[in-house]
């Protein structure tokens, strides 16, 4: 006899938001602020508190928005100073700019920041030096690794469940699942917009028990009326994929919330000791 979906306990999942201005051309009014309000209202109506990874440029440009994120009970976290991938950094500049970013977000939010997410999952075997820097800067966890091969950034040798960097904080890698030829971070961004809902739910049920499940969304993921524009750092075909198929995102997010047991923000899980048994991983 098989267990039906109704009887199976729903997987526990944290929801995260990457707060950034994705446009290559920043002339004209930014749309992230209005889109973020829509998302904050949506998740509040669903009773979900988020971890919000904030690009520090936004903490300077729109400090009231960052203050509001914290005031509404969400966890403010750091998504770099200017969304530059780690392979374009030197350790010295990374240390300086990430310290600056953390301070700017803490100033705007009025809260201590303990979580970090690298732009575009750019923490890989080549940039693993960044983990030690994050530890030195006082971050308690990172959510920066895509533990699979990927056309952009991936770290296929990294564990798929939480681990502690040999020197550095705890890492909560992106949950991945195989669709066709490649393993993808299926719980967020354009994967969540394009993959059929039943396939996402099936992949969720197949995740390892010790995985830390989290989903991610960007303000632009729900912006169905934005005119087409290039996305910073992305080739044209990626910009097109990121632009299309946004109208159903809200409905898909609502369905995902109902398919899982929404968890508290990542920082609260880390601080409550949820991943205290995570093994240490030292990249070779
Ligand atoms: Zn980002």
What's the chain look like in SS3?
CCCCCCCCCCCEEEEEEEECCCECCCCCCCCHHHHHHHHHHHHHHCCCCCEEEECHHHHHHCHHHHHHHHHCCCEEEECCCCCCCHHHCCHHHHHHHHHHHHHHHHHHHCCCCCEECCHHHECCCCCCHHHHHHHHCCCCEECCECCCCCCCCCCCCCCCCCEEECCCCEECCCCCEEECCEEECCCEHHHHHHCCHHHHHHHHHCCCCCCCCEEEECHHHHCCCCCCCCECCCCHHHHHHHHCCCCCHHHHHHHHHHHCEECCCHHHHHHCCCCCCCCEECCC
Say how many Å lie between the CA of residue 82 and the centre of ligand 1. 10
Say how many Å lie between the CA of residue 154 and the centre of ligand 1. 15
What pLDDT was estimated at residue 24? 79
> CATH says 15-278 is which class?
alpha beta
Query: pLDDT tens, 223-235?
Result: 888 888 888 888 8
Say how many Å lie between the CA of residue 144 and the centre of ligand 1. 10
Query: pLDDT tens, 15-56?
Result: 999 999 988 788 888 999 999 999 999 999 999 999 999 999
Nearest by Cα to 143 from 152, 133, 131, 151: 131
Average pLDDT rounded to a whole number, residues 121-144? 97
Say how many Å lie between the CA of residue 17 and the centre of ligand 1. 9
What pLDDT was estimated at residue 159? 96
What pLDDT was estimated at residue 124? 97
Q: Alpha-carbon distance 46 to 74, whole Å?
A: 13
Say how many Å lie between the CA of residue 2 and the centre of ligand 1. 40
**Strand partners for 277:** none
Say how many Å lie between the CA of residue 105 and the centre of ligand 1. 15
Say how many Å lie between the CA of residue 129 and the centre of ligand 1. 20
pLDDT > 70? residue 3: no
Say how many Å lie between the CA of residue 179 and the centre of ligand 1. 23
What pLDDT was estimated at residue 5? 54
Q: Alpha-carbon distance 88 to 122, whole Å?
A: 10
Say how many Å lie between the CA of residue 152 and the centre of ligand 1. 13
Q: Which residue has the higher pLDDT, 248 or 176?
A: 176
Q: Which residue has the higher pLDDT, 75 or 191?
A: 75
Neighbours of ion ligand 1 (CB under 5 A): 18, 20, 119
Say how many Å lie between the CA of residue 18 and the centre of ligand 1. 6
Say how many Å lie between the CA of residue 273 and the centre of ligand 1. 27
**Strand partners for 186:** none
Query: pLDDT tens, 137-147?
Result: 999 999 999 99
Say how many Å lie between the CA of residue 9 and the centre of ligand 1. 31
Say how many Å lie between the CA of residue 120 and the centre of ligand 1. 6
Q: CA dist 203 to 70, 75, 134, 179, 227, Å? A: 32, 27, 31, 9, 33
Q: Directed axis angle between helix 91-109 and helix 63-71, to 10°?
A: 70
Average pLDDT rounded to a whole number, residues 273-281? 96
What pLDDT was estimated at residue 238? 81
pLDDT > 80? residue 7: no
Average pLDDT rounded to a whole number, residues 57-77? 97
Say how many Å lie between the CA of residue 3 and the centre of ligand 1. 38
Binning pLDDT at 50, 70 and 90, where does residue 1 land?
Answer: very low
Say how many Å lie between the CA of residue 181 and the centre of ligand 1. 25
Q: Which residues of 249-275 are buried (b: 16+ CB within 10 A; e: fewer)?
A: bbebbeebbebbebbbbbbebbeeebb
Say how many Å lie between the CA of residue 83 and the centre of ligand 1. 6
What pLDDT was estimated at residue 78? 98
pTM greater than 0.75: yes
pLDDT > 60? residue 163: yes
Q: Which residue has the tokens 């990874």?
A: 53
Average pLDDT rounded to a whole number, residues 145-172? 94
Say how many Å lie between the CA of residue 126 and the centre of ligand 1. 19
What pLDDT was estimated at residue 2? 52
Q: Which residue has the higher pLDDT, 182 or 30?
A: 30
pLDDT > 90? residue 270: yes
Say how many Å lie between the CA of residue 5 and the centre of ligand 1. 33
């Amino acid at each position: 006899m098989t267990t039906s979906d109704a009887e199976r306990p729903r997987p526990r999942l944290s929801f995260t938001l990457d707060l950034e201005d994705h446009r290559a051309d920043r002339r004209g009014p930014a749309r992230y602020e209005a889109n973020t309000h829509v998302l904050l209202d949506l998740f509040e109506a669903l009773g979900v508190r988020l971890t919000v990874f904030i690009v520090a440029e936004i903490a300077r440009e729109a400090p009231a928005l960052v203050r509001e994120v914290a005031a509404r009970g969400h966890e403010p976290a750091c998504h770099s100073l200017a969304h530059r991938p780690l392979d374009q950094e030197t350790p010295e500049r990374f240390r300086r700019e990430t310290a600056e970013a953390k301070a700017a977000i803490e100033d705007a939010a009025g809260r201590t920041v303990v979580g970090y997410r690298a732009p575009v999952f750019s923490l890989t075997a080549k940039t693993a030096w960044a983990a030690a820097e994050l530890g030195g800067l006082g971050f308690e966890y990172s959510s920066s690794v895509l533990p699979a091969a990927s056309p952009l950034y991936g770290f296929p040798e990294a564990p798929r469940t939480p681990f502690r960097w040999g020197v550095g904080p705890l890492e909560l890698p992106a949950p991945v699942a195989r669709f066709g030829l490649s393993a993808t971070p299926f719980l967020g961004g354009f994967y969540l917009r394009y993959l059929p809902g039943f396939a996402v739910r099936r992949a969720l049920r197949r995740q390892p028990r010790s995985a830390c499940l989290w989903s991610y969304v960007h303000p632009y993921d729900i912006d169905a009326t934005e005119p087409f524009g290039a996305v910073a750092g992305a080739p044209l075909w990626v910009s097109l994929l990121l632009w299309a198929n946004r109208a159903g995102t809200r409905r898909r997010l609502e369905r995902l919330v109902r398919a899982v047991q929404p968890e508290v923000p990542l920082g609260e899980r880390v601080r409550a000791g949820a991943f205290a048994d995570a093994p240490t991983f030292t990249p070779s």
